[in-house]
């Protein structure tokens, strides 16, 4: 659903169609967005098109010998330490409580004090979760415990444990920022640049979703054995020496943590699964960065689906073309591009794509799960600041398209 910013475009450049409601103009320069981070460092990232060359240009940390491993097998062999990811991730079975043992623990972002206490108990750091919660309350620190990777000694004083969580994890980690709206491949280049983990190793894990399905049940419907869309965008601290599997599990656990409160009832009443909601959320993510528009875009998608109308969303064409080097601001979509043979081509095929086209933020997922109730079937960009005009009829939409042409000087 598209309306592009073009000047003196050749005849083969795709122009706005009646059923078009393109959200994010390929001509509009990407705006900065904030990566929301709960109890952790935030980051401002450019939301433009990320190419492979862009990823390679980023300054990465010096290559280190990976003396620290995240595989429990090595820990068992050397008998030194145990890396234990929270039980909810399904990585390892809970550890029994043995005083004096060093235990590596990952605390996900957004974890409550009770959740942290459970993680510590499950991993054998403390004996009683309730007692730890009470200590945190007495110290007045329940709201300032920080996420990240820690090494604790089991049986250490609870007051000391709480204070370490207040201080935050030691700075022996990489800072990995994943902006909203990236594809799995773009994420892989981010991981390589930030964590010295080869992109191909990360992608090998991404394309092996079945490996993680038993630990994360929301993956049972994922498309083509891919984790596309589930690599939750946020800023993370990744311990030096972590491998691709570790990073994937951290991102998946964060997705589970973020979406735990989503109400899927509306989508399910229409026959859509949580996976389908994620697909719709990824379309919303690529269609608008205006917060108040997300639920409106969602309503247009559901309304068009209800009427059997093709979605005609340009972002799905860009995803299907998979051209990481193409600058769509300089080389916008052509009519010939709309003929690309792909299940993601929402011009040729009705319904939603089989899988997500990017990793959306929580707000986009919420909008996809609970869209606004409107009579809108169209939208088109009509403002230089990224706002759209939403329409119920083709006549109204044609008027909006005329405004689009006027605003962007395409007459």
* Distance from C-alpha of 23 to C-alpha of 284, rounded to nearest angstrom: 9
Taking the model in full, what pTM does it have? 0.70
| Structure confidence at residue 77 (pLDDT) | 33
Q: Which residue has the higher pLDDT, 61 or 400?
A: 400
Q: Does 210 lie in the same domain as 231?
A: yes
Beta bridge partners of 239: 173
* Distance from C-alpha of 403 to C-alpha of 45, rounded to nearest angstrom: 31
Look at residue 371 and tell me whether its pLDDT is greater than 90. yes
Q: Does 188 lie in the same domain as 113?
A: no
Final residue before a domain boundary, out of 230, 258, 286:
258
Q: Which residue has the higher pLDDT, 364 or 10?
A: 364
Please count the structural domains in the chain.
Answer: 3
Q: Does 233 lie in the same domain as 115?
A: no
* 279: confidence class by pLDDT, cuts 50, 70, 90: very high
User: Checking phi first, is residue 132 left (phi over 0); if not, alpha (psi -120 to 50) or beta?
Assistant: alpha
Mean pLDDT for 301-312 is 98
User: For residue 298, what are its two tokens?
Assistant: 């969602």
The tens digit of pLDDT for each residue in 123-163 reads: 999 999 999 999 999 999 999 999 988 889 999 999 999 99
Q: Residue 223 is part of which domain span?
A: 33-60+173-258
| Structure confidence at residue 308 (pLDDT) | 97
Whether 232 contacts 190, CB under 8 Å: no
Q: Does 345 lie in the same domain as 203?
A: no
Look at residue 342 and tell me whether its pLDDT is greater than 70. yes
* Distance from C-alpha of 35 to C-alpha of 190, rounded to nearest angstrom: 14
Q: Does 380 lie in the same domain as 319?
A: yes
Give the lowest-confidence range in 28-32, 170-174, 229-233, 383-387. Answer: 28-32
User: HSE (CB half, 13 Å, CA atoms) of 112?
Assistant: 8
Share of the chain above pLDDT 70, in %: 77
Cα R_g (the chain), whole angstroms: 23
* 233: confidence class by pLDDT, cuts 50, 70, 90: very high
User: For residue 72, what are its two tokens?
Assistant: 């429990």
Phi then psi for residue 35, to 5 deg, are -80, 115
Q: Is residue 123 part of a domain?
A: yes
129-139 and 113-122 helices cross at what angle (nearest 10)? 140
Q: Does 401 lie in the same domain as 288?
A: yes
Phi then psi for residue 82, to 5 deg, are -130, 120
Q: Does 272 lie in the same domain as 239?
A: no
Q: How many C-beta atoms surround the C-beta of residue 175 within 10 A?
A: 15
Mean pLDDT for 279-296 is 97
Give the lowest-confidence range in 1-15, 234-248, 315-329, 386-400. Answer: 1-15
Final residue before a domain boundary, out of 228, 258, 288:
258
Alpha helices, DSSP H, located in 180-312: 184-195, 199-206, 244-258, 265-269, 274-287, 294-306
User: Tokens 């309304």 map to which residue?
Assistant: 303
Phi then psi for residue 33, to 5 deg, are -125, 155
Look at residue 291 and tell me whether its pLDDT is greater than 50. yes
The tens digit of pLDDT for each residue in 80-129 reads: 333 333 333 333 345 678 888 888 888 988 899 999 999 999 999 999 99
| Structure confidence at residue 1 (pLDDT) | 63
Q: Does 367 lie in the same domain as 247?
A: no
Whether 339 contacts 253, CB under 8 Å: no
Q: Is residue 27 part of a domain?
A: no
Mean pLDDT for 266-290 is 97
Q: Is residue 228 part of a domain?
A: yes
Average pLDDT taken over every residue of the chain: 81
| Structure confidence at residue 100 (pLDDT) | 85
Phi then psi for residue 236, to 5 deg, are -125, 160
Q: Does 161 lie in the same domain as 180?
A: no
Q: Is residue 298 part of a domain?
A: yes
The pairing of beta strand 32-35 with beta strand 82-84:
unpaired
Give the Å distances, CA to CA, from 347 to 69, 199, 316, 317.
Answer: 47, 32, 9, 8
Q: Is residue 49 part of a domain?
A: yes
CATH number of the CATH domain containing 90: 3.30.1490.480
- What residues contact residue 263 under an 8 Å CB cut-off, 6+ apart? 369, 370
| Structure confidence at residue 57 (pLDDT) | 38
Q: How wide is the angle at C-alpha 133 spanned by C-alphas 127 and 139, nearest 5°?
A: 120
Q: Is residue 55 part of a domain?
A: yes
User: Checking phi first, is residue 196 left (phi over 0); if not, alpha (psi -120 to 50) or beta?
Assistant: left
């Amino acid at each position: 659903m598209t309306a592009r910013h073009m000047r003196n475009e050749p005849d083969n450049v795709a122009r706005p169609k009646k059923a078009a409601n393109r959200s994010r103009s390929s001509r509009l320069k990407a705006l900065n967005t904030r990566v929301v981070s709960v109890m952790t460092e935030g980051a401002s990232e450019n939301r433009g098109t990320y190419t492979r060359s862009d990823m390679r240009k980023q300054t990465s940390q010096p290559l280190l010998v990976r003396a620290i491993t995240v595989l429990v097998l090595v820990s068992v062999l050397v008998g030194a330490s145990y890396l234990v990811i929270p039980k909810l991730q399904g990585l390892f079975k809970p550890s029994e409580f043995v005083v004096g043992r060093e235990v590596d623990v990952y605390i996900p972002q957004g974890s409550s004090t009770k959740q942290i206490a459970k993680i510590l108990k499950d991993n054998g750091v403390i004996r009683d979760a309730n007692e730890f919660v009470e200590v945190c309350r007495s110290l007045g620190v329940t709201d300032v415990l920080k996420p990240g990777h820690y090494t604790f000694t089991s049986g250490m004083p609870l007051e000391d444990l709480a204070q370490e969580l207040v201080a935050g994890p030691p700075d022996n980690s990489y800072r990995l920022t994943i902006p909203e709206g990236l594809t799995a491949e773009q994420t892989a280049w981010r991981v390589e640049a930030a964590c010295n983990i080869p992109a191909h190793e990360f992608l090998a894990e991404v394309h092996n979703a079945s490996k993680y399905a038993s630990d994360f049940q929301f993956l049972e419907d994922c498309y083509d054995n891919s984790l596309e869309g589930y690599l939750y965008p946020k800023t993370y601290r990744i311990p030096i020496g972590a491998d691709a599997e570790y990073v994937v599990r951290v991102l998946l656990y964060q997705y589970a943590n973020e979406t735990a409160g989503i109400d899927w009832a509306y989508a399910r009443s229409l026959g859509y699964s949580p996976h389908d909601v994620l697909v719709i959320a990824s379309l919303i993510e690529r269609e608008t960065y205006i917060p108040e528009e997300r639920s409106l875009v969602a309503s247009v998608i559901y309304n068009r689906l209800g009427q059997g109308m093709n979605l005609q969303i340009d972002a799905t064409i860009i995803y299907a073309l998979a051209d990481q080097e193409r600058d769509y601001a300089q080389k916008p979509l052509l009519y010939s591009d709309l003929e690309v043979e792909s299940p993601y081509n929402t011009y040729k095929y009705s319904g939603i794509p089989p899988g997500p086209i990017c990793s959306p933020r929580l707000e986009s997922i919420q909008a996809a799960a609970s869209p606004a109730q409107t009579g809108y079937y169209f939208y088109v960009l009509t403002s230089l600041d990224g706002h759209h005009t939403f329409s119920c009829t083709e006549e109204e939409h044609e008027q909006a398209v005329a405004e689009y042409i006027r605003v962007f000087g395409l007459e």
